[in-house]
Chain A
Amino acid sequence: MALKGTGRLSRREVMKALSLAGAGSTSLSPLLAGCRQSLQSPQDVERGLRRDALDGKPKFLIVIAASGGASIVDSFMAVRASEAGMNAARFNTFPDAQVQAVSGSPFRAVKVSAPKLGSIPIAVNADQLAFVQQHRDDMLVAASVGTSVNHVIAQKRSLNGNGAWKGRTLQEAVALQWGQGFPLPNVNMAVGGYGERGADDSLPASVYAETVTSPSLWPLGLDGARGIRGAPSRDVIALARGARADLDVSSVFGTTFQDADALKRWRAQVSEGARLEAQDLITRLNVIPNLPPKVPLTAYGLDSSPDGAKVRAAFPAFFDDPFATQSALAFLLLKYRVSVAVTIGPDFNVTLGGASGLANPPLAFDFSHNDHRATQGFMWSRILSSIDTLITLLKAEPFDQATGESLWDRTLIYVATDFGRTRSRPDNAAEFGSGHDLNNGFLMVSPMVKGNTLLGGVDPATTLTYGFDARTGAPLPGKVSSNEADLYSGVLTAMGADLSGSGLPDASAFKRG
């Protein structure tokens, strides 16, 4: 290969060099990427089953479902009245002093004080500043426009990017990528559309979510007999199960229905159940303590998790507030390598408890219909408090002694929400109701996201957010078209998922480094 007189390669030589490079990369790639990948079938690649080529170690996704519509302009993209000009009075802007700047950060932090929460006579005092100051380097906020203002549909689309990847949810994609071999790769405790299964039926059964409705008592179902008073000993149980297994196969019923999908699935699940029992998850995941007479664990031969005291101290409302119990269980599911995707979130029911006497208002964020500002302040505090505590727990949990990684280093928290809220209000009203709006933004917190980053922006004259280029991160003022697929891709891209065959947009702007 010779250079032209100009010092450049000829066109023919350029083509030859490129073809050699291509051939070389083709033959070397299996070696570079590891033998395992070279052995994967085209079907696996098509399904996105290819593993992380670099370390093969799991990564974890916690989805916090902010039910009812968590408004981004009531948090990290809030607008000051002085910025909105003549529209300040009629749109959802704040007195300047309530929108706090965070030094060296594009984020803002809202401080809200209200004497009551709608018609509920409790004072609301919420301040997001400490959270943003503490976690800004792991925070990414992306402006968004959705495609539905129906709660259940919008909730589902916040998790599947409106069918961005064959309808599979983010949690299913993560479970497929990193959850193979985990006992329950995908556990979902959230409500409505957040709890629904994705639409991609081609995935292995194990990646679809295990639904948990009672996080405090659910672990009892992880063993077939412990805690049943008077149940026979383990050896007798094993003998009984052996007899059952023999007859299930040889019976007239078993022979007649041996091709039935339900029966095949059942037999596989029976085997999986034995694996769950062997890991003593009935104990390890048990958040609640022995508290007779309501919780007589000891009397039934049961015990609390070895980490029970720690998670109960971290989430002291565990006994009254299901969201607190969910958060505690989410940590345990990750710590004990039970799951790689866990979904939690407050529900639409009233929960009494906490310092004010009210832990959760009716309809969660959707109580904004009654009193927007106080509800958003109250609920954002609730969400951020849970995130802050989870991060503290995960940071303290070693993941890999060799690399010094903590569990937090490999975890992404995605705050999914239904939609935004309408911006209009009676002139200068501090207490007003809001409706559903497609325009909003999403929060992600993780060492894996490009931290301290705001993708897109907000037009102060309308308080509506505008979009961005998902590859470069460049803001695109005036862009208000739907970007659900960008956000979906952004979560998976930040986590380093293999998106081969997905057709997802390039969302490099979300990823750190």
Chain B
Amino acid sequence: MRPERLVLLAATLALGVGCPGKITEPSQPVTVMELPDAGSLARSARGNLRFKGPERLTNDFSNALGLNADEVCTELGQYQCAGLVHTVALGGVDPFGRGLYEPSGVTAVTTPLVVDRMAFSACTRRVDKDLATPGAALIFKGLPQTGAKLANVDGPELTTAIGELTHRALQRDPYTNEVARYLQLAKDIEASGNAEPARAWMQAVCFAVLSSAESVFY
């Protein structure tokens, strides 16, 4: 059975949306795809997945969130995460320092934590920018708020933001289960008593997409 596709919103075609990063093309229409039945999906026989490594991750996060590469993540505000501090944890090399000429080829125990740091750092920066200048927001735009809360945690604006994020980070439309889970996330955050649930949701959903296995492997 062909997956049912629901077109929810038209694209925002304005070119001057304030994106300072490398991707400047207009947003694509957000479509939500129905998740295929797991039984209908073929398992990869070879399963030859590769971790993206420091350079690809930085570039992909940078492009996805419209940030300059050096804005993605710094430790203590000044030491580049992927390029200096955590290069080897992200599968990179250190030829001049430790004489490490070849990448290990496998992820380390600390790799997921470093990916989380990079994702939180980049997402926090993106959310700050989108909230500071709503008119020029890149991803989280047009989200009605009541005070620090999202005005409607089931609203189509949230689905649009999820779609925009998925487009930019994963180069595809979101599936129905993803939209449903991220909308549930908004409700969970609001129920947690967080003082700024709107901001927290934006950070959280951005983090979840950017640090997902699909985002960090290829």
Query: A: which residues have CB within 8 A of B?
Result: 152, 183-184, 189-192, 195, 197, 205-206, 210-214, 217-218, 220-225, 227-233, 235-237, 239-241, 243-244, 246-248, 250-263, 265-267, 269-270, 272-273, 276-277, 294-297, 299-300, 302, 347-349
Contacts and interface: CB of A to CB of B under 8 A. Distances in A.
A296 B75 CA distance: 10
The B interface is mostly helix, strand or loop, or mixed, namely mixed
Interface residues on B, range: 35 or more
Given A231-B203, A252-B41, A257-B44, A273 B104 contact: no
B208 A247 contact: yes
A184 B109 contact: yes
B94 interface: yes
A224 B217 CA distance: 18
Contact of A218 (B35, B85, B120): B85
Interface string B2-45: 00000000000000000000000000000000011010011110
Contact of A255 (B38, B100, B182, B204): B38
Interface of B: 35-36, 38, 41-44, 47-51, 75-79, 84-89, 94, 96-100, 104, 106-114, 116-117, 120-121, 124-125, 128, 175, 177-178, 181-182, 184-185, 188-189, 192, 194, 199-200, 203-205, 207-208, 211-214, 217
Contacts of A296: 76-77
A213 B94 CA distance: 8
Contact of A348 (B99, B125, B185): B99
B182 A243 contact: yes
A210 B178 contact: no
Contact of A221 (B42, B49, B110): B110
A300 B85 CA distance: 16
A243 B185 contact: yes
A63 to B, nearest CB: 15
A246 B180 CA distance: 12
Contact of A263 (B121, B188, B213): B213
A251 B98 contact: no
B212 A213 contact: no
A429 B42 CA distance: 74
A230 B124 contact: yes
Nearest to A258: B43
6 contacts: A223-B117, A224-B117, A233-B200, A240-B185, A243-B185, A247-B212
A260 B117 CA distance: 25
Nearest to B214: A253
A195 B76 contact: no
Interface centre among A240, A272, A348 (most CB of B within 10 A): A240
Given A243-B181, A258-B43, A222 B113 contact: yes
A211 B97 CA distance: 12
A263 B47 contact: yes
A294 B125 CA distance: 22
Contacts of A294: 78
A-B pairs, top 10 by smallest CB distance, nearest first, are A224-B116, A260-B47, A240-B204, A253-B214, A192-B99, A262-B49, A244-B208, A230-B124, A191-B99, A273-B113
